[in-house]
């Protein structure tokens, strides 16, 4: 028995020795076979994008060509949900030969000699301007909601109430580089079929497109990634909603909501599908989008930022949205208030929410009755007595004072209360309203006492802008 056991152990030992020797020899052979070039293969390979899904040769050509000519655009698209869903450049940019926004310049890309994808066989009409009408092929509800919002119709709003445009008090470059970057331009083509430089590039929320649609989805969903997280973060809104006249991003940053976002925003789940982004689960404190657009609880999401508003806090006299003459909303403010309150109640008690709105209503009445209405009455009296000249609006000091009373301090006070930022409600808001108001009234009373017309500024720089309302919005003059 012992001899059998001993023999078995010896056999096992010999077998193990043979295996070890074979492994050693194999390892030595591999080591000898390796060269410096072989070792370099351990470094990370460049990430490749391979077209393994069905698409037309023209669509493939777009992708392959842009991979070379504009790799930033290609990379953004390749990382997008559009790419994951096999949505290509052509799905968004394809046009018809007769479309008013077709790019004639792009046809030259099919005459390339150094790029096999830039040849005539791949020629297809495209537009460089992707519009809400284009996006509506896949996003019809969002496009319809956006079309009725203040964002999409902001050109109508500013041309209705803004003295800078209606009286030509700023020139074309000041408008193009400032006002129109946020509000949008009226796109136009020149005789060579190229977009005019004073109207393009532009992604303003109220851009008037050549296909008749209004707005630009890339105002918030930056191209070509179109990430939902981009539009959900407050910085997206802060591109336009900032500064002395509508500092919503600064107000938000000061508020408790903004404080929570600053502390915990990197932990938010930004990429949840629309309709599923849940307060308390995916994010702790709200952003602009979660209050004004995203769905929560019983409230359905919307791309109409006019919804859920019960006051127009940016108007000279605070009114309900349906009473805003520059753009009357097709809403009922009481219904919309209940929607916003339901959003608030996802994180707050009903008492908290109702009392907040009581503060807002009181602040609105305070601004309207104590500051705006008396100042407006005095301004009208000065015009009636010819102590001020109504045009041009900014040629007299009191007109600047009145304008900034509502357009700057008055907005900050109301918006500060609405978004729970006490420093903006008081020191940047009502405090400044008081200072502006007493200076305006003092100057007005001096004019009344002396009965002499106000001093007119002899020089007004940077005027001369076209005062013609865009016919694409207002129609042709009869």
Q: Which tens digit of pLDDT belongs to each residue from 87-135?
A: 999 999 999 999 999 998 888 888 877 888 888 899 999 999 999 999 9
- In this prediction, residue 380 carries a pLDDT of 98
Please, what is the angle between helix 431-450 and helix 373-384, to 10°?
A: 20
Quick one: CA dihedral 68, 73, 79, 83, positive or negative? negative
For residues 406 and 372, is the Cβ–Cβ distance under 8 A? yes
Q: CA-CA distance, 369 to 366, in Å (whole number)?
A: 5
User: Helix or strand or coil: residue 37?
Assistant: helix
Nearest to 466 by CA among 185, 122, 152: 185
Q: CA-CA distance, 82 to 92, in Å (whole number)?
A: 10
Q: CA-CA distance, 132 to 142, in Å (whole number)?
A: 9
> pTM for the complete prediction?
0.86
- 199-237 per-residue burial string, b: 16 or more CB within 10 A, e: under 16: bbebbbbbbbbbbebbbbbbbbbbebbbbbeebbbbebb
For residues 158 and 165, is the Cβ–Cβ distance under 8 A? yes
Q: Which two tokens stand for residue 69?
A: 């000519």
Nearest to 169 by CA among 376, 429, 461: 461
Q: CA-CA distance, 359 to 348, in Å (whole number)?
A: 16
- In this prediction, residue 52 carries a pLDDT of 63
Cα R_g (the chain), whole angstroms: 32
Nearest to 430 by CA among 345, 378, 474, 364: 364
Which residues of the chain, if any, have pLDDT below 50? 1-12, 14-21, 23-41, 478
Q: Where are the alpha helices (DSSP H) in 153-215?
A: 154-161, 163-166, 172-174, 180-183
Q: CA-CA distance, 91 to 80, in Å (whole number)?
A: 14
Phi/psi of residue 352, nearest 5 degrees: -55, -50
Helix (H) / strand (E) containing 258: helix 256-264
- In this prediction, residue 112 carries a pLDDT of 77
- In this prediction, residue 67 carries a pLDDT of 92
- In this prediction, residue 32 carries a pLDDT of 44
- In this prediction, residue 34 carries a pLDDT of 45
β strands within 317-405, DSSP E = none
Nearest to 217 by CA among 151, 274, 155, 261: 151
Q: CA-CA distance, 305 to 294, in Å (whole number)?
A: 10
Q: Which residue has the tokens 């599923």?
A: 276
- In this prediction, residue 110 carries a pLDDT of 86
| Structural domains of the chain ordered from first start | 57-128 (no CATH), 130-219 (no CATH), 306-457 (1.20.850.10)
Cα dihedral 32/37/39/45 (nearest 10) = -150
Q: CA-CA distance, 397 to 405, in Å (whole number)?
A: 13
């Amino acid at each position: 028995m012992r001899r059998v056991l001993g023999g078995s152990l010896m056999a096992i030992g010999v077998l193990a020795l043979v295996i070890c020797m074979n492994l050693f020899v194999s390892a030595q052979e591999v080591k000898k076979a390796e060269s410096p070039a072989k070792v370099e293969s351990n470094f990370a390979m460049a990430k490749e994008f391979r077209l393994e899904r069905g698409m037309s040769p023209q669509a493939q050509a777009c992708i392959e060509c842009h991979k070379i000519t504009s790799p930033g655009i290609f990379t953004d698209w390749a990382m997008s949900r559009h790419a994951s869903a096999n949505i290509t450049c052509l799905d968004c940019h394809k046009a018809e030969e007769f479309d008013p926004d077709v790019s004639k310049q792009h046809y030259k890309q099919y005459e390339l000699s150094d790029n096999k994808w830039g040849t005539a066989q791949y020629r297809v009409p495209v537009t460089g301007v992707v519009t809400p009408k284009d996006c509506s092929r896949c996003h019809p509800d969002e496009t319809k909601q956006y079309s009725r919002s203040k964002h999409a119709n902001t050109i109508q709003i500013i041309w209705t109430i803004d003295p800078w445009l209606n009286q030509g008090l700023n020139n074309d470059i000041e408008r193009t580089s400032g006002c129109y970057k946020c509000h949008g331009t009226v796109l136009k083509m020149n005789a060579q079929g190229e977009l005019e430089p004073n109207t393009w590039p532009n992604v303003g929320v109220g851009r008037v497109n050549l296909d008749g649609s209004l707005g630009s989805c890339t105002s918030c969903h930056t191209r070509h990634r179109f990430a939902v997280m981009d539009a959900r973060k407050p910085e997206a809104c802060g591109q336009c909603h900032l500064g002395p006249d509508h500092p919503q991003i600064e107000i938000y940053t000061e508020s408790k909501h903004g404080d929570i976002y600053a502390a915990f925003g990197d932990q938010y789940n930004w990429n949840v599908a629309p309709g599923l982004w849940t307060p308390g689960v995916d994010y702790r404190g709200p952003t602009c989008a979660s209050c004004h657009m995203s769905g929560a609880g019983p409230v359905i999401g919307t791309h109409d930022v006019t919804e859920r508003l019960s006051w127009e806090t940016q108007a000279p006299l605070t009114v309900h949205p349906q009473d805003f003459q520059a753009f009357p909303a097709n809403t009922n403010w009481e219904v919309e208030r209940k929607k916003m309150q339901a959003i608030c109640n996802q994180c707050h008690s009903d008492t908290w929410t109702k009392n907040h709105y009581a503060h807002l209503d009181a602040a609105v009445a305070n601004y309207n009755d104590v500051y705006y209405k008396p100042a407006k009455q005095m301004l009208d009296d000065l015009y009636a007595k010819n102590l001020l000249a109504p045009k041009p609006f900014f040629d007299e000091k009191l007109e600047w004072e009145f304008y900034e009373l509502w357009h700057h301090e008055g907005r900050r006070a109301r918006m500060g209360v609405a978004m729970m930022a006490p420093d903006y409600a008081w020191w940047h808001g009502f405090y400044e309203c008081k200072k502006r108001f007493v200076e305006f009234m003092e100057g007005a009373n001096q004019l009344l006492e002396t009965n002499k017309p106000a001093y007119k500024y002899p020089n007004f720089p940077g005027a001369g802008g076209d005062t013609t309302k865009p016919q694409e919005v207002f129609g042709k003059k009869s």
